[in-house]
Amino acid sequence: MQKHNGEKYYITTPIYYPSGNPHIGHCYTTAACDSIARYRRMQGYDVMFLTGTDEHGLKIEQKAAEKGVTPKQYVDEIVEVFKKLWKYMNINYDRYIRTTDDYHVTAVQKIFKDLYDRGYIYKGEYKGKYCTPCESFWTDSQLKDGKCPDCGRDVVEAKEEAYFFKMSPFADRIEKLLTETDYLQPKTRALELVNNFIKPGLEDLCVSRTSFKWKWGIPVTFDTNHVVYVWIDALSNYITALGYDNDTYNDYDKFWPADVHMVAKDIMRFHAIIWPAMLMALDLPLPKHLAVHGWITFNGQKMSKSLGNIIDPFVLGERYGADAIRYHIMREMALGSDSSFSNEIMINRINTDLANGLGNLVSRTVAMVEKYFGGTLPEIQQSGDFDEDLIAQATALVDTVDGFIDKTQLNNALAEIFKVVSRANKYIDETTPWVLAKDETNKPRLACVLYNLLETIRIVSTLLSAFMPTTMPIVWEQIGANSKDVTYENTAKFGVLPKTVTVHKGEIIFPRIDVDKEIDELNKLIGSQKKEEPKPEVKPEKPENVALIGIDDFAKVELRVAEITACEPVKKAKKLLKLTLNDGFGERTVASGIAKYYKPEELVGKKIILVANLKPAVLCGVESQGMILAGENGDDVKVIFVDGLPAGSEIR
């Protein structure tokens, strides 16, 4: 047990993109940081817990355009959903930063200028492969089969003026940071970073985009044709939110360097290499730890915005309570590995640990105090067999939990707490209070058994209050504990509650769930959610300067009806489906970028319009012998299906 009165502690989540509503993946990092922050507060630390939203960039600009609103209007709406979710999940952050906040914008401009003045940012030329429709530059190694990795289309050589950040001067220091210190948790990931990014030579980073293509960003003050690259903007949040280079806050000296930045593996590189390099260039202290966790996956895929709608934290919270969801995701995720989300595992976990384990322990104990003693224990109590072991385990728990919190291993901390819950349930079986109750002379022993159970519940519920902050106060009310009893210091002590404590029977804290019925209902819900997801309609824009063609030009295109006889995903390209078609005269294969919009089984047996005389092209290893017609609106694509005409019919 370590008390840390007044010592500072600074913990951060990533700042999330408000490009879609938050999902259970975002909940994990935020609930984990919240639990650590709450635990640190209990330990006496003066805590700053920061979260927020990363609101600039092309993606947001495009999404806003699709909806026909300004980027700011677009993010304002989604930020409200994030904040509502954090309130719902009982996330007690100290500060919420939005990268569109004025103070952050001006501070980032100063940071950029400072890096420029120090000679670490210079103007150069960005040369690379450019995908025009995606407006993205790619390096050769990022291309997939020489094509844009996002859309599979051809890229062209292009160059543009840009600012670069010199990374190479920091390579040695960063390598040492990753391999010789405990900055990165778990350290096993250090090797992969060093081998992939540092050993081949740290490349300078392009840190601006021209504002012709991309306006929704922070302008470079001394060259307004450029906006600051989103990651320079985003990473700076960890210091601007404390008041670095701005007067809005005055906490930088107190809280920097951060004690923990927690992120998932997708953004580890930015926090393990680029962020330390920026701080080194600015001559600022480095954060103490970067805790990297895996992904919550669903059917083997990273939970994404679209899947996130299916596993909507509001829907789950509504059914099982926010604390049960917090518990489940934190108990399942081991630092460093992925955790697969499944409704079955979640419901079983809630039933086993929360309903049968903790819930039962609390309700049985309180019910027995009521039944055998009218709710108030007598002063005279007599200790006996099994007490010592229970007391030893309960009072040793805090040290073990402290150790796991220090290592950000929340799943292990929770597992240890629940070992004591099981120990207490076993103690009930060992001491058999219902047998003791049969004989009046056993009353002092019975009172002691129940008192020991109440004390154990006090200890575990105090430690658990960092993880499940909504439910534990209800437990305290039921076991007759007041706020002075449930302090961190008291978790190492036994005998804190008065001997003559009075309990209050109350609601069941975690009701047991009927697994089969619930899975059925969840599946139905998922089905209906899927249907209820209309894509936002975008008003089509009238094209300008379209060259007119003659009927002869059009006649050059051979359009025919074809039937899809088979369909499968293309392993190497997420966006492509491989279609086998009967074009009325034979079989041919077409690769089409519609995987995001259709499942293979939805297409088989359908008739479509085929551009039959297109030159064959190889797309991600598939020879595509033609093209199928589809309509596009915003983010939605609909294949044009044909009814009533046999395969091979000509379309004119």
Between 262 and 628, whose beta carbon lies closer to ligand MSP? 262
Query: Residue 307 has which token pair?
Result: 């899947």
Asked if residue 28 binds ligand MSP (CB under 6 A), the reply is yes
Under rule CB under 6 A, how many of the chain's residues touch ligand MSP? 20
| Least distance to ligand MSP, CB of residue 259, Å | 16
Asked if residue 373 binds ligand MSP (CB under 6 A), the reply is no
Residue from 296, 369, 609, 639 binding ligand MSP (CB under 6 A): 296
Asked if residue 328 binds ligand MSP (CB under 6 A), the reply is no
| Least distance to ligand MSP, CB of residue 30, Å | 8
| Least distance to ligand MSP, CB of residue 512, Å | 28
- The answer to whether 579 and 599 have CB atoms below 8 angstroms apart is no
| Least distance to ligand MSP, CB of residue 269, Å | 11
Q: ∠ at Cα 193 (191, 196), nearest 5°?
A: 105
Between 78 and 594, whose beta carbon lies closer to ligand MSP? 78
| Least distance to ligand MSP, CB of residue 61, Å | 15
Contacting range for ligand MSP; rule: CB under 6 A; set: 24-32, 159-167, 560-568, 580-588 = 24-32
Asked if residue 107 binds ligand MSP (CB under 6 A), the reply is no
Asked if residue 78 binds ligand MSP (CB under 6 A), the reply is no
Q: How far apart are CA 453 and CA 372, in angstroms?
A: 14
| Least distance to ligand MSP, CB of residue 296, Å | 4
| Least distance to ligand MSP, CB of residue 639, Å | 30
Beta-strand pair 260-264/8-16: parallel
Query: Residue 616 has which token pair?
Result: 């064959």
| Least distance to ligand MSP, CB of residue 26, Å | 5
Ranges within 45-64 binding ligand MSP (CB under 6 A): 54
Asked if residue 16 binds ligand MSP (CB under 6 A), the reply is yes
Residue from 15, 310, 358, 450 binding ligand MSP (CB under 6 A): 15
Asked if residue 235 binds ligand MSP (CB under 6 A), the reply is yes
Q: Give Cα 552 to chain centroid, integer Å.
A: 55
- Type of residue at 353: D
| Least distance to ligand MSP, CB of residue 115, Å | 17
| Least distance to ligand MSP, CB of residue 417, Å | 23
Between 147 and 331, whose beta carbon lies closer to ligand MSP? 331
Between 27 and 486, whose beta carbon lies closer to ligand MSP? 27
- DSSP at 188: G
Nearest to 423 by CA among 443, 446, 452: 452
Residue from 303, 410, 420, 450 binding ligand MSP (CB under 6 A): 303
| Least distance to ligand MSP, CB of residue 108, Å | 12
246-265 mask for ligand MSP (x: CB under 6 A)? Answer: -----------------xx-
| Least distance to ligand MSP, CB of residue 59, Å | 10
Nearest to 621 by CA among 300, 152, 288, 291: 152
Ranges within 540-579 binding ligand MSP (CB under 6 A): none
Contacting range for ligand MSP; rule: CB under 6 A; set: 20-28, 84-92, 212-220, 345-353 = 20-28
- The answer to whether 363 and 421 have CB atoms below 8 angstroms apart is no
| Least distance to ligand MSP, CB of residue 326, Å | 14
Q: How far apart are CA 563 and CA 546, in angstroms?
A: 32
Tell me the residue number closest to ligand MSP, measured at CB.
25
Asked if residue 14 binds ligand MSP (CB under 6 A), the reply is yes
Nearest to 460 by CA among 427, 501, 423, 406: 423
DSSP symbols for 587-631: EEEEEES-TTT--HHHHTT-EEEEETTPPPEEETTEEE--EE-EE
Asked if residue 138 binds ligand MSP (CB under 6 A), the reply is no
Residue from 288, 302, 493, 606 binding ligand MSP (CB under 6 A): 302
User: 212-218 — which CB contacts under 8 Å span 24+ positions?
Assistant: 213/58, 213/135, 214/57, 214/58, 214/61, 214/135, 215/61, 216/56, 216/57, 216/58, 216/60, 216/61, 216/64, 216/71, 217/56, 217/57, 218/56, 218/99, 218/105, 218/108, 218/109, 218/112
Residue from 9, 10, 11, 25 binding ligand MSP (CB under 6 A): 25
Cα→Cα distances 481→414, 487, 555, Å: 22, 11, 85
- The answer to whether 320 and 271 have CB atoms below 8 angstroms apart is no
What would you measure as the largest C-alpha separation in the chain, in angstroms?
107
| Least distance to ligand MSP, CB of residue 57, Å | 8
Contacting range for ligand MSP; rule: CB under 6 A; set: 72-80, 296-304, 483-491, 641-649 = 296-304
| Least distance to ligand MSP, CB of residue 564, Å | 33
Nearest to 86 by CA among 53, 57, 63, 47: 53
Query: Residue 612 has which token pair?
Result: 């039959």
Contacting range for ligand MSP; rule: CB under 6 A; set: 229-237, 406-414, 567-575, 606-614 = 229-237
Ranges within 593-612 binding ligand MSP (CB under 6 A): none
Residue from 267, 604, 645, 651 binding ligand MSP (CB under 6 A): 267
Asked if residue 10 binds ligand MSP (CB under 6 A), the reply is no
Alpha helices in 209-354 (DSSP H): 230-235, 237-240, 252-255, 268-269, 275-281, 305-310, 313-320, 322-332, 343-349
Nearest to 450 by CA among 427, 473, 472, 471: 427
b/e map 294-305, b = 16+ CB within 10 Å: bbbbbeeeebee
User: 592-599 — which CB contacts under 8 Å span 24+ positions?
Assistant: 592/624, 592/627, 592/628, 592/630, 593/151, 593/152, 594/630, 594/637, 594/639, 595/569, 595/570, 596/637, 597/636, 597/637, 597/638, 597/639, 598/639
Asked if residue 26 binds ligand MSP (CB under 6 A), the reply is yes
Asked if residue 266 binds ligand MSP (CB under 6 A), the reply is yes
Asked if residue 29 binds ligand MSP (CB under 6 A), the reply is yes
**Tokens 């009046």 map to which residue?**
440
The SS3 assignment for 530 reads: helix
Residues in the chain: 652
Q: Which residues bind ligand MSP (CB under 6 A)?
A: 14-17, 25-26, 28-29, 54, 234-235, 237, 263-264, 266-267, 295-296, 302-303
